Chain A
């Protein structure tokens, strides 16, 4: 790996690059999917290549190749420089980057069990056991399960002298039961929708989930939803379960704080942000009890946004994003940090694979735990709807107006959880929503959820992000609009 990266940097400098970095990435993945008692997806894949990013003529260029001979890498580096010089045809000013030190380091995330050493038949058996348990429940028409494992080994080398070797192992799994009856399709998932829970860990993540042990419950809930009452339409107090709050954080805090969006670089596709730079350290983003951080450090947890260095060679950091309700920080890279006068990038440049340019991505964007015990929160709530497990999610391209629906809900009446509700949904404006938060549960109920499928950039890149959250309460929220006639 080191030779390939060195050839790239040397060639780029010789061709006139004022800055160059190279990422060699060797990615291995295993995906298993089951459906109604049979194995569906069963794929292993590997991919090795190099991505070379340069500044030449004051503009950016990037090229990638999997032709890892000296000739192939040098041609790729030369192409990156040629592309940068073409970029200079439509530049307004030279690229400027916040300073960063050079690092020589190696890092691997800790894990207990290498998922690639666990026999695939054992992994299939777990999914099929859960599948069987779901289909034993009368009314279930579709049982699905999935596991996914990924090992990423990468070497980052830059012209300022960095050489950083990292190995990341991530694992995840989940199950879902669906029931079609009459004119309705209902679904329940465990432990989360869209593939379950994912973390920067080994197979121990899957074992801890105990998928077969939770299969019957979600299957029964899925069938029961058909005879549950419809979530009403109006204004209500809501309590969001941890995984749903994690997605709420992702959409209405994580994306709007991306500085590339704020500065217009994503205007054509992912969109921009309402968090214009004049709002930094001035906007009351949430209520006083809302504290949110962007934390890529291992001490925050083994999330999908955990690493030692980002893909620009900047060390992992913890950035306060919302401090006692005040908006205090963006996600930045070296270029955007410089653009808004910050002295340093906070280290959020990430790439999906070797043939994609690193861009600003969420790390672990988490709400810090509050003080409430979950039981006390329910007991303290007179009239509310508890909503759990995301079903649909949508937000405008500046991240103001959102609408979410969840798989299941329950009435809270007089401090007790009551009847089940189907088709729960809520909507609102981002800052109004976060300012209505009046309770966040404590560390005992806090989970670092993994979102494995965040899409951004052109060409599109899919990235895993982490979101620590515990159940929380919000007042005066619009509910039921998704199903209003």
Chain B
């Protein structure tokens, strides 16, 4: 079982509908036609209120391993999701069929499900038209990438690996999407974005290295440089030695930081605090992290991506979550805000759901130390490229377990002293963020266990590595 963190998109409604996909394709519908389709669905509905979400997309992914392409896929999808409110009750139905009969059926299904449940006293009327800050996250250069373009980049990367007598595996994916959210109260939100991602693992007989990057603009990706970095890490971690478990100074590169702290931020949901499942219960306003930890949720940051509105169409607000070590604010959907006598922050998931909301555009305040400077300042420690299979052990102390992977090094006397066998860690994230000695510049990082965020590399003292594995 691989990691299963929620997707960045603040929508919980796409369960059996096709997986997130993107568009720009527009082969079935233009954006204007989709707006007409949304209007038609709202017009056909006899519910008290009706909301329509439409996602149109095309995605392609080229996957390689053993220095060859072994999977190469493309998809085009359309998802229509209808929420009905009837007599103070609400439910959702989803389809990918656009014929008249199917549209009528999905509308009727949403209303039928809504009627057949107990009344929900906390349900709010759908929001009216909102104003949104503009974001520019659609790049034609990404939308027009062809399979041959991805294959040529992969071929170059495989040659780098072959030249170094190594083996490459990874992905190159590009996609584009158009999303629309409208309701019967006049709300209309539109968003277009492109996505591009390159990830590579370079393997030797007993070592490996990894690098990954993503951006809405494919021109920001440099597959050759990523491959060179992963290749160097594989070479430098050859013949890893086993270290005894214990508490070490750990230098986590941005991807490792991202995957670790990603488990903390669902605790910043107002609903999580109401449900008493947040580690921030009884801790808001108290200093629990170091002075050097400040972070926001900011959908408008130039290195962030995603819609400027939430699952109900409310504009996302920039929220200061932690100020110099003190948790200051939570995020709220409209309903949670009302329950907690706060203002909605535009972080709600699509309704109906039981999770409420979550921050999805995290931005840490960074520092000015490079990873090299962190290494040079460390007498004995461990440099971690990437973490893997992270799971929560203690939800209140926020103890997480997981493994290091694909480039773990011993640091001795300010220098890298070779690769080490991968470690399991059992570490409280709260404690780790109280023990940060140095921060690098905050960058857009990509991992595997959490959504992308803007995070720095961190030097953390007293990090608990509990057991070593065999490689």
Interface residues of A (CB under 8 A from B): 27-29, 31, 33-36, 38-49, 59-67, 76, 79-80, 82-84, 86-87, 89-93, 119-121, 124, 128, 141-142, 144, 150, 178, 180, 183-185, 250-251, 255, 263-271, 274, 352-357, 391-398, 400-401, 403, 405, 423, 425, 427, 429, 451, 453-456, 458-460, 462, 478, 481-484
Tally of A-B Cβ pairs under 8 angstroms: 322
A184 to B93, CA, bound (A): 38
User: Is the CB–CB distance between A35 and B69 below 8 Å?
Assistant: no
User: Is the CB–CB distance between A92 and B68 below 8 Å?
Assistant: yes
Residue with the greatest number of chain A CB neighbours at <10 A, chosen from B70, B392, B395: B70
Q: Give which listed residue, A67, A83, A144, A185, contacts B73 with CB less than 8 A.
A: A83
Which A residues touch B120, using CB under 8 A?
A: 38-39
Q: How far is the CB of A383 from chain B (nearest CB, A)?
A: 23
A394 to B392, CA, bound (A): 9
Which A residues touch B286, using CB under 8 A?
A: none
What would 10 more interface pairs be, CB under 8 Å, given A83-B147, A178-B276, A483-B393?
A29-B15, A44-B92, A90-B158, A124-B118, A268-B65, A356-B19, A394-B401, A398-B470, A460-B2, A462-B4
User: Is the CB–CB distance between A396 and B426 below 8 Å?
Assistant: no
A331 to B5, CA, bound (A): 27
Q: How far is the CB of B260 from chain A (nearest CB, A)?
A: 13
Smallest CB-CB separation from A93: which chain B residue? B68
A475 to B410, CA, bound (A): 34
Which A residues touch B401, using CB under 8 A?
A: 392, 394, 403, 482
Which A residues touch B352, using CB under 8 A?
A: 39-43
> Does B342 reach chain A (CB closer than 8 Å)?
no
A180 to B267, CA, bound (A): 14
> Does B100 reach chain A (CB closer than 8 Å)?
no
User: Is the CB–CB distance between B16 and A178 below 8 Å?
Assistant: no
Smallest CB-CB separation from A53: which chain B residue? B73
Which A residues touch B469, using CB under 8 A?
A: 396, 398, 400-401, 429
User: Is the CB–CB distance between B70 and A484 below 8 Å?
Assistant: no
User: Is the CB–CB distance between B78 and A66 below 8 Å?
Assistant: yes
A43-B91, A45-B16 given; A90·B69 CB < 8 A: yes
> Does B467 reach chain A (CB closer than 8 Å)?
yes
User: Is the CB–CB distance between A90 and B167 below 8 Å?
Assistant: no
A268-B199, A394-B402, A400-B470 given; A425·B393 CB < 8 A: yes
A31 to B355, CA, bound (A): 14
A354 to B75, CA, bound (A): 10
User: Is the CB–CB distance between B154 and A90 below 8 Å?
Assistant: yes
A269 to B61, CA, bound (A): 14
Q: What count of chain B residues pass the 8 Å CB interface test?
A: 107
User: Is the CB–CB distance between B18 and A183 below 8 Å?
Assistant: no
Smallest CB-CB separation from B210: which chain A residue? A268
Q: Give which listed residue, A42, A142, A355, A460, contacts B275 with CB less than 8 A.
A: A142
Smallest CB-CB separation from A45: which chain B residue? B94
A403 to B329, CA, bound (A): 34
User: Is the CB–CB distance between A47 and B92 below 8 Å?
Assistant: no
What are 23 A-to-B residue pairs whose CB atoms are below 8 Å? Answer: A39-B117, A40-B355, A42-B352, A43-B91, A44-B93, A45-B93, A45-B95, A61-B73, A67-B76, A87-B151, A120-B117, A178-B275, A255-B1, A264-B65, A267-B167, A268-B200, A271-B388, A357-B71, A398-B469, A398-B471, A401-B470, A455-B2, A459-B73
User: Is the CB–CB distance between B403 and A397 below 8 Å?
Assistant: yes
User: Is the CB–CB distance between A269 and B96 below 8 Å?
Assistant: no
User: Is the CB–CB distance between B74 and A64 below 8 Å?
Assistant: yes
Enumerate the 4 nearest inter-chain pairs by beta-carbon distance, A residue then B residue, closest first: A40-B354, A29-B16, A45-B94, A86-B147
Which B residues touch A354, using CB under 8 A?
A: 18
> Does B405 reach chain A (CB closer than 8 Å)?
yes
Q: Give which listed residue, B17, B74, B467, contacts A427 with CB less than 8 A.
A: B467
